[in-house]
């Protein structure tokens, strides 16, 4: 049809129509080709490279200081406090008087029991003489003897009750807390004072199974003549800068906590002279770990942000394949959780773990490694 319309046209006009239609044809030709695909999404992430365990590597655990010996001191009888010389923070010696009750009521009972005892003893002595002369029956003699023994027991109890009105220190230590004030009425087994011995200190920490096995093995070999590498276990305190305090293992619980699946270990140390380290203070415990001794899978410390939970509540971390720069999820087992970090097993040295940005990843996604100090969007 176009050919018929242009057959009779002026050659100049015909050339102009051809030129005008040329851009439209080129545009239609370009549209017929496929548009190039956008580059794959690349997510910026922060990572850390897991290193192998070397001699001198350490694990650290938060700990709480406690006294090597402590006791809440109480009276064994009821009464009104008569004296309370012990003051909080005061050092005391074993056997030192800490408090006394008003003894008058107990002294009256003792006097009465003493009089009854004296009478019963005199009757018993006379009955023994009469029995030797056959002047008294065996039954009467036995009844008098029984009354004597009852009077003796009552006298002993009264003497003991009177002695219980004086409260003495059971060991050398210091008065950590005073629960009552002088002239108060107190009852048997009511705590009056808290006495603590801080000549040595305990530090309690919660440790995973792998470290528990390591420390128990170290404690056993330390008792034998086996030559093992010397292990460094020490405590540091925030308020004592630049000081390390050696620790010795005292005991380890054999039953794990049902919630954290950790074992409580108790370590001990001498109370350092010149430093005010007291029960209730916090410490950080460092334990040296040697290669291959944690029993199979190595425990790895990661930031809390590195571990995410999958839909089936499985703890997972994301690993980066440095050849393709893609990520894939790997399940791990939690062995210790603190406010700052998490300890897991199931990873190997040389793997690169995503430590920030893990919540936005999906399997196979390409990532870009951020430099130290950069933050993922």
| pLDDT at residue 376 tops 70 | no
Q: Decide if pLDDT at 162 tops 80.
A: yes
Band (96; pLDDT cuts 50, 70, 90): very high
* Cα separation of the two ends of the chain: 61
Question: From the CB of residue 120, how many other CB atoms can be counted at a distance below 10 Å?
Answer: 21
Higher pLDDT, 32 or 40: 40
Query: Mean pLDDT throughout 99-127?
Result: 98
39 band by pLDDT with thresholds 50, 70 and 90:
low
With beta carbons less than 8 A apart as the criterion, state whether 145 and 123 touch: no
Q: For 294-325, how does the pLDDT look when each residue is reduced to its tens digit (9 = 90+)? A: 555 667 888 888 888 766 678 899 999 988 99
- How far is Cα 345 from Cα 315, in angstroms, rounded to an integer? 11
Q: What is the pLDDT of residue 289?
A: 72
Q: Residue-wise over 48-87: b if at least 16 C-beta within 10 A, else e?
A: bebeebeeeeebebebebbbbbbbebbbebebebeebebe
Taking CA atoms, 64 is separated from 30, 161, 265, 283, 320, in Å, by: 74, 39, 11, 6, 38
pTM: 0.61
- Rounded to whole angstroms, the Cα distance separating 114 from 142 reads 21
Confidence of residue 17 (pLDDT cuts 50, 70, 90): very low
Strands of 271-375 (E only): list them.
282-289, 300-303, 308-309, 315-321, 326-331, 333-337, 341-345, 352-356, 366-369
CA distance 345 to 354: 16
Whole-number Å distance between alpha carbons of 73 and 191: 6
Residues 64-91 pLDDT 10s: 999 999 999 999 999 999 999 999 999 9
- Which residues have C-beta within 8 Å of that of residue 251, sequence separation ≥ 6? 265, 266
pLDDT at 2: 47
The residues pairing with 237 across neighbouring beta strands, listed in sequence order, are 240
How confident is the model over 209-218, as a mean pLDDT? 76
pLDDT-above-70 percentage for the chain: 78
For residue 288, pLDDT beyond 90: no
**CB contact at 8 A, 285 and 205:** yes
Q: For strand 79-83 and strand 185-186, is the pairing parallel, antiparallel, or unpaired?
A: antiparallel
Mode of pairing for the β-strands spanning 366-369 and 42-49: parallel
- Residue 324 corresponds to which tokens in the numbers above? 């393709």
Give tens-digit pLDDT for 261-272: 889 999 999 999
Beta carbons within 8 Å of 137's beta carbon, 6+ residues apart = none
SS3 363: coil
Kindly tell me if the per-residue pLDDT of 1 is higher than 50. Answer: no
The token duo for 197 is 């011995």
Q: How far apart are CA 299 and CA 207, in angstroms?
A: 11
Cα–Cα distance, 73 to 169 (Å, whole number)? 8
Structure tokens at 104: 């008058």
Domains and CATH numbers, the chain: 44-54+298-369 (2.40.420.20), 57-67+199-289 (2.40.30.170), 103-164 (1.10.287.470)
Both tokens of residue 244?
A: 């390390």
pLDDT over 60 at 225, yes or no: no
What is the pLDDT averaged over residues 125-149? 96
| 246 SS3 class | strand
Is residue 53 very low, low, confident or very high in pLDDT (cuts 50, 70, 90)? low
Q: What is the pLDDT of residue 38?
A: 56
Helices H / strands E in the chain, number of each: 5, 22
Q: How far is CA 134 from the centre of its chain?
A: 76
| pLDDT for position 42 | 82
In this prediction, residue 212 carries a pLDDT of 83
Rounded-to-integer distance, Cα 179 and Cα 177, Å: 6
């Amino acid at each position: 049809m176009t050919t018929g319309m242009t057959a009779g046209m002026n050659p100049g006009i015909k050339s102009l129509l051809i030129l005008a239609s040329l851009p439209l044809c080129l545009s239609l030709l370009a549209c017929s080709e496929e548009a190039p695909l956008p580059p794959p999404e690349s997510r910026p992430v922060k990572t850390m490279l897991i290193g192998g365990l070397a001699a001198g590597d350490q694990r650290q655990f938060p700990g709480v200081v406690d006294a090597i010996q402590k006791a809440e001191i109480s009276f064994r009888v009821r009464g009104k406090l008569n004296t309370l010389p012990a003051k909080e923070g005061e050092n005391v010696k074993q056997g030192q008087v800490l408090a006394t009750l008003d003894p008058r009521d107990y002294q009256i009972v003792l006097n009465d029991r003493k009089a009854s005892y004296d009478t019963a003893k005199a009757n018993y002595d006379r009955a023994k003489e009469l029995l030797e002369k056959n002047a008294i029956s065996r039954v009467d003699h036995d009844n008098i003897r029984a009354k004597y023994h009852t009077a003796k027991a009552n006298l002993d109890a009264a003497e003991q009750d009177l002695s219980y009105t004086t409260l003495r220190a059971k060991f050398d230590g210091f008065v950590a807390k005073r629960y009552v004030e002088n002239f108060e009425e107190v009852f048997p087994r009511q705590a009056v004072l808290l006495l603590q011995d801080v000549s040595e200190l305990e530090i309690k920490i919660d440790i995973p199974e792998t470290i528990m096995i390591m420390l128990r093995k170290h404690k056993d070999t330390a008792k034998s003549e086996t030559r093992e590498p010397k292990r460094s276990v020490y405590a540091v305190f925030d308020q004592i800068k630049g000081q390390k305090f050696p620790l010795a293992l005292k005991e380890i619980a054999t039953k794990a906590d049902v919630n954290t699946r950790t074992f409580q270990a108790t370590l001990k140390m001498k109370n350092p002279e010149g430093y005010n380290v007291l029960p209730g203070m916090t410490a950080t415990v460092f334990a040296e770990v040697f290669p291959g001794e944690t029993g199979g899978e190595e425990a790895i410390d990661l930031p809390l942000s590195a571990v995410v939970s999958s839909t089936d509540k499985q703890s997972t971390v994301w690993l980066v394949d440095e050849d393709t720069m893609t990520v894939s999820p790997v399940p791990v087992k939690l062995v210790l959780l603190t406010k700052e970090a998490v300890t897991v097993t199931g990873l190997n040295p040389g793997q690169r773990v995503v430590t920030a940005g893990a919540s936005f990843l999906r399997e196979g996604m390409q990532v870009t490694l951020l430099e130290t100090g950069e933050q993922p969007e």
